[in-house]
Amino acid sequence: MTARILGVALQLFADRGYHGTSIPMILEAAGVSASSLYRLYPSKEALVNAVFLDAKGRLGAAIAAAEDPPGGGDPGVAAEGHARFARIWDALARFAAEEPAAFRFLELQDHAPYLDGASRTKELTVLAPLALACMDLKRRGVLRADVEVDVMLASAWGALVGLVKAARLGYLTLDHDKLADAREAMWRAFAADAPATAQGPNTSGAGRRGRKR
């Protein structure tokens, strides 16, 4: 039951925002009664924080999985450079595609007014691996020395969010190719030795269906 509640609440919060979503809406969509919900979550704020933790947790898992590929081996060494960046980017892109509501909800502007301490902590916990990976790559000279890590993170993450948002608004249709193009562009933007004009290595495999232009 909590799963269904969290699911419909996530969907509604993502679609209409926190203030735009009423408890009755959630009750109806989840098919539960007010009291049932209030026994699980003592307030609307508690619910939205639970939704946040849940969604952020899944995002964190996706990131962790990208950093620690199931194939195992020695991630710290093998995952260096472009391949490691691509794995993270692709993981985030996949998360955005597979859990659109979660992605969208987490990117809503300013959860701040209603997020509690646990949620804010989670935010940092999920972000940390990305920051660490970035700092690590920079220290090793893989990423440019003349750009701050936080600028790289914010820009690349923002670019992905921008692509997803543009797709949602109908300004473009996101497919695998475009996401890979954007990934390589971000690599060029921040890699220390990325080739300038030629297209960078495309690890997404699966022969592309013909270059445009």
Spatial separation of the C-alpha atoms in residues 168 and 20, rounded to whole Å: 19
Can you read off the two tokens belonging to residue 158?
């923002």
Residues 77-106 interacting with its own copies (rule: CB under 8 A)? 104
The CA dihedral of 53, 54, 58, 61, to the nearest 10 degrees, is 60
Q: Residue 166 — left, alpha, or beta (φ > 0 → left; ψ -120 to 50 → alpha)?
A: alpha
Per-residue binder mask for DNA (CB under 7 A), 35-54, x = binder: xx-xxx-xxxx---------
Stretch that binds its own copies, among 50-58, 62-70, 76-84, 110-118 (CB under 8 A): 110-118
User: Is residue 161 near its own copies by the rule CB under 8 A?
Assistant: yes
User: Is residue 169 near its own copies by the rule CB under 8 A?
Assistant: yes
Specify the residue for token string 């890590």: 149
Stretch that binds DNA, among 7-15, 32-40, 59-67, 168-176 (CB under 7 A): 32-40
Question: Which residues does residue 191 pair with via DSSP β-bridges, in sequence order?
Answer: 143
The count of residues interacting with DNA (CB under 7 A) is 18
- Are 30 and 21 in contact by the 8 Å Cβ rule? The answer is no
- Are 68 and 80 in contact by the 8 Å Cβ rule? The answer is no
For the bound state, the minimum distance from the C-beta of residue 5 to DNA, rounded and expressed in Å, comes to: 9
- Are 152 and 137 in contact by the 8 Å Cβ rule? The answer is no
Q: Which residues bind its own copies (CB under 8 A)?
A: 15-20, 104, 107-110, 112-113, 127, 144-148, 150-163, 165-169, 171-172, 178, 181-182, 185-186, 188-190, 192-197, 199, 211-213
Q: Which residues bind DNA (CB under 7 A)?
A: 1, 21-25, 32-36, 38-40, 42-45
